[in-house]
Structure 1
Amino acid sequence: MQNSNAIQSFVIVGGGTAGWISAAILARNLPSQNVQITLIESPNVPTIGVGEATIPSMVDLLRYLKIPLDDFIQKTNATFKLGIEFTNWLTLDHKYWHPFGHVGNHIDGKPFYQHWLKHHLNDGSFQFCDFSPAVHLARQNRFFIQNTQQKTPLNDAAFALHFDATLVAEYLKQYCLKLGVKRVESHVCDVISDERGFISTLHLTHSNLKGASKQISADFFIDCSGQNALLIGKKLRIAYQNWQHFLPVDKAVVAQSKLGPNIPPYTKSIAEKSGWRWQIPLQNRMGNGYVFCSDFCSDEQAIEVLQNNVDNLLSEPRIIKFTTGKREKSWYKNCLAVGLSAGFLEPLESTGIYLIMKAMLNFIELMPDKTCPAHNTDEFNRLMDNEFINIRDFIVLHYCLSKRTDSAFWQMWQTLTIPAELKQKIQLFENFGRLYHNPQDLFAQDSWYAIYAGMGKNPNQYDPFIDFSNFPVIEKAFKQSYHLLLQSAAHAPMHNEFLQVNAEK
């Protein structure tokens, strides 16, 4: 017996990465003969284009959508990403890594970090990320995809992608069209709701639908209209929680430049006087940006910083404004906000695509009928609130541990109030290096350890149980492990070579 209230039609407002990922996940799960999916894409609206770096969940998404990795890489100018190299965040000229994958392995049932901490507190010479396979590959500009059937010291490395966001949107559009998604090129000029307050119909300025209809109705609407938030914000009036008191940066200047001879398999994040710069390598160019706080830096000064640090620009710098925060409810009645309409967290840890993907996967898990019962929407909003808060805390961690006082921006961070949840996590960590257990946290324990260790935040004492392990034997194993990782990485292909082989397949 079929549910007479089953949703039979979806309308997605907005294209770009958010719109086409949403459409792809819906189309992957809902047979086109039973459910109609329509995406309305405004003509000549440029994408923001800052989301060109990802985390390993992007590779998981491609597998989920059954998209061949090599085909995707070729058609989106993609490169591989093993992690992020952070420069000047703790102090000037200091560097550290946030790698993907595991760092070391549990020893005697205790986290590797605890054994490394004892090594460190006993004046050991190894850094925490010296035991990351991803870091060893990244330092040598090397990359390969591990054969899961063959055990090597590098198997614990994970990877993500850098890519051209515009090409990705086009790739996913073609994927969706083949699965029966309908595309309408038009602007939404009015939004109509019914007596329940549910959205019922969109009025369009024009339409390429058969019959030249200038309106479209559906059972459920997904708002991917970016910061305009046409449905969730302007029509349904769901308020936006401003988090700039926690993350004060509010603008970015972006530009593309020519690529050097070597393509690094990682993102670079370089702290500046009023924010930080990124470098994201693609196959055909380098993506550059300077994320800054307008309270301490004018647009003209930000452009100058970018131009002084980037050679061979291919495009004119452009300014992007944003407000860090999230919608009070991402899902309200029969409208789901995805992407920038749901919230924005600065791209420091490349989490924008993840939040799009996670919203849609959670929605699939909680798929409603036409009534959109409150318990469904409440659970979805609880899950997405946790995602945003966890990522927010992880980003704030990079700033609040800095020891820089060389500019007004960094001086502000010495006294800025941090979220209560993060303060609790730091206080727990200060006691024996223990981490707050949160199974819903996107970032695994090794990621938190990497930022703490990289930013010089180490407890004064390690877990007392570590003393039950044979310390001299572990110290010897540290040396062997480090040199084995170093040698194994040296035998991997150069990143450029690996991309070239992939392109020739």
Structure 2
Amino acid sequence: MMPPPCGRVVVVGRDAALWLATNVIRTALAPAGVTVTAVELPSRLEPADVHATLPPLEALHNQLRIEEAALLRAVGGAFTLGQNFADAGGAEPAFLHAYGAYGTAIDNQDFFAYWLKARGLGLPVGLEDFSLTAAAARQGRLLIPDDETEKYGRSDYGYHLPAAAYVRSLKGLAVHDGVTIHAADAIEVLRDGDRIEALAFDGQRIEGDLFVDATGEGLLIDALGTERESWRSYFPGDRMLVASGPKFGSIPAYAEIRAGSGGWTGLYPSQARSHVVHVYASSLCSDEEARRDAAENSGLALTDVDIQAVDPGMRTKAWAGNCVAIGAAAATFDPIHNVELHAVQLGLIHLLAFYPAGSDFSAERAEYNRLMRSSFERIRDFQAVHYRLNPYAGSAFWAQARQGDASPELAHTIALFQARGEIAPYEDESFSPDSWRTFFIGHGLVPDSYLPPIDRTPPETMKAQFRTMLGFVKEQVLRQPTHDAYLQTIARRGNG
């Protein structure tokens, strides 16, 4: 078999981005004759770091032959059905951004429009009461999808994976599969014009046809002179504290984001501890004040405290020359929705889709860059909603957040939803219309009208369908195992 034009891939980086990229590329392309070499830089993980993941990671794990139960046993991870957004002071109602569908169609029309109409007529039932995953999360249960629940609507989940243990598991997979691995404290990038020819470190020289930058800071893509766009004006927080707290007696099946006066505090439970993230603005709050705020908002005694900068933004080109930046090397996001690994996954999916088939891959590179820019900007806009529309009063942090930038696309999305409850369709969305609606409603943005066609449905039919849905949700959730019981079952399988 003739080797492919880009038959030698060198992946350079650290932590999860390095090992996800290495394993995904090898699994997908080794049958075509592509070889993968990994160059591992020193880890930057802290003991309290956690990967709170979005649902698509499960599918990526399946492609890598990572068995879910074995992974959760090995890393002490937990499931998450979404994020509960709460006001630490209790002035604003909480809402749960659940990973799944809200309601099911009536007369082949979207459920949300019916809920809007009924709400206007005095329906006292919240949107999340029609979500299987939200209802399960509120009751400390998982939602294990089956044929019945899938007919009702999509039910998804993510994970809370302690980061260091997760990285060890991913690296172990690469070692098992025979990937050539080099460790390096630092690297020198050797260029040939606008391409990378090789990497030099510790007296070694590693050549390749395609280089993947999974370094986080973009060591390789920087060497090719790519610029970076800042998103600082979209987001108020520029500092992040991470810490550990005691484990919960009963492990919630969701994360919680608590809005405090100085920023927000996220709680991400795993089996052995509670992972705490606190985001704040250095212009409004000192690091010591942030420590106190994080402890107060979480209600936990914090250990393993580490503080780091937050600087959202993206590369003008994620693929330059023969170097593809993956994850944080291509774009860094606000921590609010935990999209770090999702960004890695998006980059890898598109790289495989446009992997060079010849020596001149300028067309593939241009399309990759177009797709990644669009995908990253849609994520940024979804994240910006929480800040731009926040209802939290009496706080300089949240007042500043409301003044953040909004792209023309986000402004249009907000205006269309305000007018008629619809979500503007854009390419390359990572979040479903249900997620957008949940966020808008949760932040108090109620549409002025609903879609007129639903008025053809008789009121009694609509009421009957609502009763049927609420009954189905209640019945299905009561059938589900508690989160604690399911994790205990997974542990027993490992011991058996």
Give the TM-score range, shorter chain: over 0.9
**Structure 1 residue corresponding to 2:190, chosen from 163, 176, 192:** 192
Q: Which residue is equivalent to 2:211?
A: 221
CA separation of 1:372/1:304 partners in 2, compared to 1, >3 Å: closer, same or farther?
farther
> What is the CA distance between 1:36 and its match in structure 2?
2.3
Q: Equivalents in 2 of 1:128, 1:457: separation in Å?
A: 13
> Given the two structures, how large is their TM-score scaled by the length of structure 2?
0.94
**Distance in 2 (alpha carbons) for counterparts of 1:258 and 1:69:** 25
1:201 to 198, 201, 210: 198
Give yes or no for the alignment of 1:58 onto 2:57: yes
Q: Does 1:113 align with 2:112?
A: yes
Identical-pair percentage: 27
Cα deviation 1:180-234 (Å, max 9, x = unaligned): 211111123321111x321111111x3xxxxxx522111111111112x21112x
Structure 1: unaligned runs, 5 residues or longer: 207-212
CA deviations over 1:115-154 (Å, ceiling 9, x no partner): 0000111111011111000011111101142334x55887
Cα distance in 2 between the residues matched to 1:451 and 1:179: 42
State the AA in 1 paired with 2:215: S
Q: Which residue of 2 aligns with 1:209?
A: none
Question: Hey, what's the Cα distance between the residues in 1 that align with 2:323 and 2:89?
Answer: 42
1:313 CA drift (Å): 3.9
Verify the 8 A CA contact 2:85 2:257 in the aligned structure 1: yes
Q: In structure 2, what residue type is equivalent to 1:231?
A: L
1:59 alignment partner, SS class = helix
* Structure-1 residue corresponding to 2:172: 174
Secondary structure of the residue aligned to 1:31 is helix
Alignment partners' CA distance in 2, 1:175 and 1:54: 19
Q: Which residue of 2 aligns with 1:293?
A: 281
Contact 2:262 2:293 (8 Å CA) reproduced: no
Task: Give 1:174's aligned amino acid.
Answer: G
Residues in 1 aligned to 2:421 and 2:150: alpha-carbon distance in whole angstroms: 29
Shift of 1:473: 2.1
Return the letter of the residue paired with 2:208: A
- Counterpart of 1:494 in structure 2 is 482
Aligned mate of 1:273, from 261, 271, 276: 261
| Equivalent pairs, count | 493
SS at structure 2 position matched to 1:52: strand
Map of 1:96 onto structure 2: 95
Which one-letter code corresponds to 1:167 in the other structure? Answer: A
CA distance in 2, matches of 1:14, 1:364: 19
- Alpha-carbon distance between aligned partners in 2 of 1:397 and 1:386, rounded to the nearest angstrom: 17
SS of aligned partner of 2:256: strand
Residue of structure 2 equivalent to 1:230: 219
In structure 1, what is the equivalent of residue 127 of structure 2? 128
1:23 corresponds to which residue?
22
2:163 aligns with 165
Separation in 1, partners of 2:104, 2:77: 30
Report deviation, 1:44: 5.6
How far is 1:165 from its partner?
1.3
Q: Deviations over 1:382-420 (max 9, x none)?
A: 111111111111111112112223111222234433211
Q: Which residue of 2 aligns with 1:210?
A: none
In the aligned structure 2, how far is the partner of 1:268 from the partner of 1:86? 6
Structure 2, unpaired ranges of 5+: none
Is 2:212–2:326's contact at 8 Å kept on the other side of the alignment?
yes
1:465-490 per-residue CA deviation (whole Å, 9 max, x = no partner) reads 11111122212321332133123312
Is 1:359 the counterpart of 2:347 in the alignment? yes
Tell me: CA distance 1:415–1:348, structure 2 relative to 1, closer, same or farther (3 Å).
closer
Task: Provide the C-alpha distance between the structure 2 equivalents of 1:31 and 1:483, rounded to a whole number of angstroms.
Answer: 50
For the residues of structure 1 that align with 2:23 and 2:51, how far apart are their CA atoms? 19
**Judging changes above 3 Å, is the alpha-carbon distance between structure 1 residues 442 and 52 closer, same or farther for their aligned structure 2 residues?**
same
Secondary structure of the structure 2 residue equivalent to 1:105: coil
Q: Note if 1:245 corresponds to 2:243.
A: no
SS of the counterpart of 2:461? helix
The answer (yes or no) to whether the contact 2:160–2:269 under 8 Å persists in 1 is yes
Paired with 1:317 and 1:54, the residues of 2 have a C-alpha distance of 22
Shifted more, 366-375 versus 319-328: the winner is 366-375
Give 2:138's aligned amino acid.
R
Residue type of the partner of 1:40? Answer: V
1:89 and 1:95 in contact (8 A); partners too: no
**Letter matched to residue 91 of structure 2:** L
Higher mean Cα deviation, 380-389 or 288-297? 288-297
Q: CA deviation at 1:287?
A: 0.4
Shift of 1:246: 1.0
SS at match of 1:289: strand
Greater Cα offset, 85-94 or 108-117: 85-94
- Choose 396-405 or 27-36, whichever is displaced more: 27-36
Relative to structure 1, the CA distance from residue 122 to residue 173 in structure 2 (aligned partners, 3 Å threshold; closer, same or farther) is same
Mapped contact 1:153–1:484 kept (Cα < 8 A): no
CA contact (8 A) 2:12 2:214 kept: yes
CA-CA distance at 1:461 after TM superposition: 1.4
Query: TM-score if structure 1 supplies the norm length?
Result: 0.93
Q: How far is 1:14 from its partner?
A: 1.2
